[in-house]
Structure 1
Amino acid sequence: MEPHFLLKHKYFLICLIPDIMILFGYYENYIKNENGIILCNEVDNGGAYTDLSKYLVDTSNCKIPDIDPLNSDVWPYYQKQDYVHCRTLNLLTYIERRDDEIFLKLNYSLLDAYSPYPISCCYSNVTRGDDDDDDVDNTISFSECTPFIRAAKVSSDMIKVTCKTDYDEVYSNVHSIIKENEETLYKRPSGGDYSVLLVGMDTMSQLNLIRTMPKTYRLLENTGWINLRGYNKIDDNTFPNLMAILSGMNLSQIHTICNPGKNYLDDCDIIWKRFRQRDYVTAYAEDESHLNTFSFLMKGFNNTPTDFCFRSYFLAAETLNVVTHYLASYCTGPETSGESILDLIKDFVDVFSDKLKFGLFWMNTFSHNNINTASGMDDVFEKFLSYLMKSKVSENTVLVFFSDHGFRFGKIRYTYSGWLEERLPFIHLWVPKSFRAKYPESYNNLMFNAFKLTTPYDLYMTLQDILQRSDSTYQVQSSLACPKCRSLFQRISENRSCDDAAISQHLCTCMGHVYIDPNSQIVKKATYFALDKLRSTINSFVDGPRMCANYDLKHIISSGITETFYNKKDESVNYLLIVFETFPKAVFEATVSISYQNYIPLFTLQGIISRVDRYGNTSACVNNPILRKYCHCDGFYTKVKKTVDILFNN
């Protein structure tokens, strides 16, 4: 069955096609209703069964479909997975706190279980690279290994433990130690103000959270978290969607102002700096160091950006025995990388329970590379969130549990469900009961906004709102990318559109689309137009023409069309969503608008062109993160094609 974007109602097909196209013969086969009005191309090759009367958002300028998480088109890609253990024994070492002192302790009762031979252990201090190092954000060093028997008092923030017999290494682990230091000692007590904790899971849509983590979702729904049902991403991948939250800028503005490819991000206006300047204890952690949001194909940070930055911890953890799961560093030593993040969160909120704090904790390893692997972590997250709800953190902290986007690659992306959920990441907010009582109107606005179109830029404004409530001298700054965006504690307009929210039409979920025959002439013309724009984009980079193959169209995988609307010039416009495959092999998704001038269709590319297949190392010959998404490093193919063209055209 060829995947496509056909939407079928429970009882009938719905399809709106502009009459002008029919006049030009673009639709050969179609269905008419009893009044002779053309409804849709006649097709019957599968499709997504969807009740079009249900919406996540239902406002005058935005209607986002509410579809079944196990919709028929996505069902073939779903398979529940079990939790994967990283060890068979309990940890041999652990950290113990006694007043202001920290001890590394050995679980002596487990020695015989680890080996029948005598075991000796030692620990090394782990330190971040020197500021003078040109690659400081990717550099760590280890001190000499100091032997210990049962326990050792430690002062370092990170230690690596190694235990051996005379024959082999039986255990190694890295411990990160969160404790008061000279900088945090005089940070502000929480008092009646509120902390912020952002807990992020990469590549997790609303629908996939429900599908793969039902226990976690049920806990969120039953314990008073607010689900922002219309939360729409603003760009393709993690970096721009996270930076929209942290800086209020879009990707173009970030590259212009911060230039992360050439400069460290220290001088970039990231909001955790504002919290840190106002005496919040700040933290940032992210697993899978080579995919790090701020270091992948970028320079990262010269100085640690927050009071506690755990990049060095994960660099050290990845020197242990790493077990990959779907090409991700799932196990780093005896612990899963994701659970290491959760343990850091627990330590952070516990140690600084009485102080104002801001933390961003981001997980890649169990959700980034496979749409089903998060299902194995459902019990883990249900237990973790239950812990947060029972702890003091829930009394004085605004919690944000969220993602950046849905699954971006693979055949699921050729389906209607895949199109929708890729653009709709999950996000749930917990607001303490004391906040609700103190600011009832703000909380009511948040609940109202749960059914409106929202974006990462709104979350940026919300973080500033919280900061201003704790420090009245703070001046809220409008989002540079979305001046109309506002705090989620302020009511969003009922007539908000994607344009108002700074979401490009290509990523906008407000209009939906219905099936149109990929073989129709209008789709073919629009696809060649998009392909030409893709070639131009590649050629606009210095390395593009030299390093990347020139794509040819192989075939159109699927296509959808919106209903007709009228722009400000009172011109009729439709949007075509097209997924097409090229040679060399790559799969792209583009949105092309169609308007008419003297009955001639005019095409305009809307927003970015998305890459929806896994391209792996095929673009490794270039370093620019944007060009990497589009390039196919195939100089041989380009040379052969030129030779063939010369032979056959002369």
Structure 2
Amino acid sequence: MEPHFLSRYKYLLICVIPNIMILFGYYDNYIKDENGIILFKKVDGAESAYTDLTKYLVDTKNCRIPDIDPLNSDVWPYYKKQDYVHCRNLDLLTYVDRVDDYIFLKINYSVIDAYSAYPVSCCYSNVTRGKGSDADDTISFSECEFFEDSTEVTSDLIKVTCGTEYGEVYSNVHGIVRENEETKIKREADKDYSVLLIGIDTMSQLNLMRTMPKTYRFLEKNNWVNLRGYNKIDDNTFPNLMAILSGMNLSQVHTICNPEKNFLDSCDIIWNRFRQFDYVTSYAEDESQLNTFSYLMKGFNNTPTDFYFRPYFLAAETLTVVTQYLASYCTGPETSGERILGLIKDFCEVFVDKLKFGLFWMNTFSHNNINTASGMDDVFEDFLEDVMTSRASDNTIIVFFSDHGFRFGKIRYTYSGWLEERLPFIYIWVPKSFRNRYPESYNNLKLNSERLTTPYDLYMTLQDILYRSDNSYKIQPSLACPKCKSLFQRIDEDRSCDDAAISQHLCTCMGHFYIDPNSRIVKKATYFALDKLRSTVNSFFDGPRMCATYDLKHIISSGITETFYNKKHESVNYLLIVFETFPKAVFEATVSISYQNFIPLFTLQGIISRVDRYGNTSACVTDPILRKYCHCDGFYTKIKKTVDILFNN
């Protein structure tokens, strides 16, 4: 297999950008819009990943991040456009209508005959969040009340069921955003700004361009600011979102909040501060099993925001679920992702004149497969057009972003996969009135779009917005990154990953040259990383072990950085190594090499990444960190017994 960390001298061709002919031959593989305009074109299928080394996303003193083509030849084999998957063939049979302060559930009689030739009757149940220690994971339903044509509803969450004497023909769940006694006294927007965080899980900058080209072009054409050097700070969703919401790294979150043992209610999450300063707050996330704050954690005891939609998605998942790559793509007659988009529109419309803070997060069409988001491209283009033509765009700073790129599978063994896993997309919409009122702040944001940025900077930005709305708010430095600052302030030109609290393992500022995986230094560094991996697994157990001991199977690929000198004036290189073990697992580690009396000294940089899908092979443990590294001993024992039988026979 061709190693994926290739010498920069092998990059021979320029990047292919929309509507520009490449200089050399190419296959007829394009991504086009509905008018046949070429958005991206595949580079000639040579073995290496071509890029133009005169082009960088960030090109500053201590950081140079390559600007590579979204359809590099190393990633092209993994790209396949997918069509939109419909969850229903008919229009919805029920809908919610607003008349002043009243909410009505109505039957759409124009389509009722399409559902059944027999008489159809409908009833609805109020859905209530659970109580006690499992409040975040349970819901209850009231007795189903029959209604005809229309009925007023007072609950914020209802389930409706319609059927004939022969059985059910339709069911759905409606989440209702409405004014209540608490929100009526919230602050008016006036000249201050609301905040919307709209996230798509597992979506790199390159994969947004590749799978959602219409959405990408819309953002680029409509003055959304693209933070091209936005680098993740940890492995998966929880730490990267908590960096934005709390300014803490994973270690600090575990020390201060202890989410595996305690509810997160007492954790200092920034929506609490917005709520304290009379913003209307909201949080919604699809796919309840993958929920950022509940997966292998206790979640929340009390509702953390004014509008908390976890019960809504728990109720939606009681409907007929159609999975797509193991995710709940369809929940009843609607896609889970579009349910989120509907909630965003309702939240913005109902509270258009109020200050508001909302986090809306989507997993179901992006988390488990690198291509499935392509089916949602038209949906998101239409959604963004609706947002831009609504009043929300006049007084709301909108962050459209992701947490990281694709983390698992063979694409991660490629150069492109290595880079884009660390570079999630992020676009920021700044209203025209803000640009006019704070021109220097907006110019700083645009300048920062070509500098190294992190989730900690976004945390500082949220505080900046809150301070601008009320000068009594005291901005607090990020615990994890004291040097990080608001994106409306100028980030230092000489910023390094160390300055931004990004570990070398996740840092994209230093490229890698190819180095032979069979070389002596690579093998030594790999065994060093393997020992660290074993120690990490062992550290979780005081008593009997549940995880097998890993042995090295082979080194898949390796790369090395240019030599630099540390603060002690010692020469240092970084090795990035991808290796496979037995029992079967694939890991990626960064190991620094320094020398003392010509003897190499190794140091592990940051975390060891798990880059293959481990599924339920770690189901015997519950710790979220250990699950990435453990291969439950029972699986190992079965394999070992099989091998022994084969050899004994």
Q: TM-score, normalised by structure 1?
A: 0.93
Q: What is the deviation of 1:6?
A: 1.4
- Residue equivalent to 2:119: 118
- Residue equivalent to 2:172: 173
Are the equivalent residues in 1 in contact too, given 2:3–2:514 (CA < 8 A)?
no
- Residue equivalent to 1:490: 489
Query: Following superposition of structure 1 onto structure 2, how do residues 427-466 of structure 1 map, counting pairs within 5 Å?
Result: 427-466=426-465
1:513 and 1:231 map into 2 onto residues whose CA distance is 19
Q: What is the deviation of 1:51?
A: 1.6
- Residue equivalent to 2:526: 527
Q: What is the deviation of 1:8?
A: 4.7
Secondary structure at 1:219 match in 2:
helix
1:236 and 1:250 map into 2 onto residues whose CA distance is 11
- Residue equivalent to 1:572: 571
Query: Following superposition of structure 1 onto structure 2, how do residues 285-300 of structure 1 map, counting pairs within 5 Å?
Result: 285-300=284-299
Secondary structure at 2:239 match in 1:
helix
2:195 and 2:247 map into 1 onto residues whose CA distance is 17
| Amino acid aligned to 2:69 | D
| Amino acid aligned to 1:233 | K
Secondary structure at 1:306 match in 2:
coil
Q: What is the deviation of 1:542?
A: 2.2
1:599 and 1:3 map into 2 onto residues whose CA distance is 28
- Residue equivalent to 2:5: 5
Secondary structure at 1:184 match in 2:
helix
- Residue equivalent to 2:154: 155
1:439 and 1:215 map into 2 onto residues whose CA distance is 30
RMSD between aligned residues? 1.7
Query: Does the C-alpha gap of structure 1 residues 70 and 639 become closer, same or farther in structure 2, counting only changes over 3 Å?
Result: closer
- Residue equivalent to 1:538: 537
Q: What is the deviation of 1:486?
A: 0.2
| Amino acid aligned to 2:465 | I
Are the equivalent residues in 2 in contact too, given 1:562–1:576 (CA < 8 A)?
yes
- Residue equivalent to 2:387: 388
Q: What is the deviation of 1:47?
A: 2.2
Q: In the alignment, is residue 334 of structure 1 matched against residue 324 of structure 2?
A: no
Are the equivalent residues in 1 in contact too, given 2:11–2:48 (CA < 8 A)?
no
Secondary structure at 1:52 match in 2:
strand
1:545 and 1:612 map into 2 onto residues whose CA distance is 27
Q: Which runs of 4+ in 1 moved over 2 A?
A: 1-4, 7-13, 44-47, 542-545, 634-645
Residues 597-633 of structure 1, C-alpha deviation per residue, up to 9 Å, x if partnerless? 1111110000000000000111010000000010001
Are the equivalent residues in 2 in contact too, given 1:63–1:511 (CA < 8 A)?
yes
2:11 and 2:185 map into 1 onto residues whose CA distance is 65
Are the equivalent residues in 1 in contact too, given 2:87–2:333 (CA < 8 A)?
yes
Query: Following superposition of structure 1 onto structure 2, how do residues 342-491 of structure 1 map, counting pairs within 5 Å?
Result: 342-491=341-490
Are the equivalent residues in 1 in contact too, given 2:457–2:486 (CA < 8 A)?
yes
2:420 and 2:309 map into 1 onto residues whose CA distance is 31
Note the residue ranges of structure 1 that are not aligned, 5 or more in a row.
14-43
- Residue equivalent to 2:27: none
- Residue equivalent to 1:81: 82
1:12 and 1:162 map into 2 onto residues whose CA distance is 61
Q: What is the deviation of 1:281?
A: 0.1
Are the equivalent residues in 1 in contact too, given 2:211–2:373 (CA < 8 A)?
yes
Q: What is the deviation of 1:4?
A: 2.2
Q: What is the deviation of 1:545?
A: 5.9
1:202 and 1:331 map into 2 onto residues whose CA distance is 17
Are the equivalent residues in 1 in contact too, given 2:461–2:486 (CA < 8 A)?
yes
| Amino acid aligned to 1:396 | N
Are the equivalent residues in 1 in contact too, given 2:284–2:361 (CA < 8 A)?
yes
Secondary structure at 2:112 match in 1:
helix
1:106 and 1:393 map into 2 onto residues whose CA distance is 29
Secondary structure at 2:184 match in 1:
coil
- Residue equivalent to 2:247: 248
- Residue equivalent to 1:552: 551
Q: What is the deviation of 1:233?
A: 0.1
1:8 and 1:423 map into 2 onto residues whose CA distance is 20
- Residue equivalent to 1:95: 96
Query: Following superposition of structure 1 onto structure 2, how do residues 125-136 of structure 1 map, counting pairs within 5 Å?
Result: 125-130=126-131, 133-136=132-135
2:543 and 2:523 map into 1 onto residues whose CA distance is 25
Secondary structure at 1:358 match in 2:
strand
Q: What is the deviation of 1:167?
A: 1.3
Query: Following superposition of structure 1 onto structure 2, how do residues 567-606 of structure 1 map, counting pairs within 5 Å?
Result: 567-606=566-605
Q: What is the deviation of 1:168?
A: 1.8
Q: What is the deviation of 1:110?
A: 1.1
Residues 159-182 of structure 1, C-alpha deviation per residue, up to 9 Å, x if partnerless? 000011111211000000100011
- Residue equivalent to 2:505: 506
Q: In the alignment, is residue 280 of structure 1 matched against residue 279 of structure 2?
A: yes
1:496 and 1:56 map into 2 onto residues whose CA distance is 14
Query: Does the C-alpha gap of structure 1 residues 314 and 644 become closer, same or farther in structure 2, counting only changes over 3 Å?
Result: closer
1:321 and 1:518 map into 2 onto residues whose CA distance is 49
Query: Does the C-alpha gap of structure 1 residues 644 and 532 become closer, same or farther in structure 2, counting only changes over 3 Å?
Result: farther
1:418 and 1:113 map into 2 onto residues whose CA distance is 47
Query: Following superposition of structure 1 onto structure 2, how do residues 232-271 of structure 1 map, counting pairs within 5 Å?
Result: 232-271=231-270
1:272 and 1:588 map into 2 onto residues whose CA distance is 36
Secondary structure at 2:182 match in 1:
coil
**Farther off after superposition, 263-272 or 536-545:** 536-545
Secondary structure at 2:499 match in 1:
coil
Are the equivalent residues in 2 in contact too, given 1:548–1:633 (CA < 8 A)?
yes
2:300 and 2:118 map into 1 onto residues whose CA distance is 45
Residues 134-157 of structure 1, C-alpha deviation per residue, up to 9 Å, x if partnerless? 111001000000001111110000
Indicate the percent of aligned positions where both proteins have the same amino acid. Answer: 82
1:595 and 1:414 map into 2 onto residues whose CA distance is 26
- Residue equivalent to 2:30: none
1:12 and 1:393 map into 2 onto residues whose CA distance is 46
Residues 317-363 of structure 1, C-alpha deviation per residue, up to 9 Å, x if partnerless? 00000000111000000000000000000000000000000000000
Q: What is the deviation of 1:508?
A: 0.1
Secondary structure at 1:601 match in 2:
strand
| Amino acid aligned to 1:60 | K
Query: Does the C-alpha gap of structure 1 residues 108 and 12 become closer, same or farther in structure 2, counting only changes over 3 Å?
Result: closer
| Amino acid aligned to 1:162 | T
Are the equivalent residues in 2 in contact too, given 1:7–1:48 (CA < 8 A)?
no
Secondary structure at 2:579 match in 1:
strand
| Amino acid aligned to 2:121 | S
Q: What is the deviation of 1:117?
A: 1.3
Note the residue ranges of structure 2 that are not aligned, 5 or more in a row.
14-44
Secondary structure at 2:545 match in 1:
helix
**Farther off after superposition, 303-312 or 161-170:** 161-170
- Residue equivalent to 2:626: 627
Q: What is the deviation of 1:10?
A: 6.5
Are the equivalent residues in 2 in contact too, given 1:543–1:622 (CA < 8 A)?
no
Are the equivalent residues in 2 in contact too, given 1:234–1:504 (CA < 8 A)?
yes
Query: Following superposition of structure 1 onto structure 2, how do residues 188-207 of structure 1 map, counting pairs within 5 Å?
Result: 188-207=187-206
Residues 384-426 of structure 1, C-alpha deviation per residue, up to 9 Å, x if partnerless? 0011111111100000000000000000000000000000000
Residues 241-294 of structure 1, C-alpha deviation per residue, up to 9 Å, x if partnerless? 000000000000000000000000000000000000000000000000000000
Are the equivalent residues in 1 in contact too, given 2:229–2:453 (CA < 8 A)?
yes
Q: What is the deviation of 1:192?
A: 0.3
2:392 and 2:550 map into 1 onto residues whose CA distance is 53
2:478 and 2:341 map into 1 onto residues whose CA distance is 30
Q: In the alignment, is residue 229 of structure 1 matched against residue 231 of structure 2?
A: no
Are the equivalent residues in 1 in contact too, given 2:12–2:51 (CA < 8 A)?
no
Secondary structure at 1:577 match in 2:
strand
Q: TM-score, normalised by structure 2?
A: 0.93
1:161 and 1:643 map into 2 onto residues whose CA distance is 53
Secondary structure at 1:330 match in 2:
strand
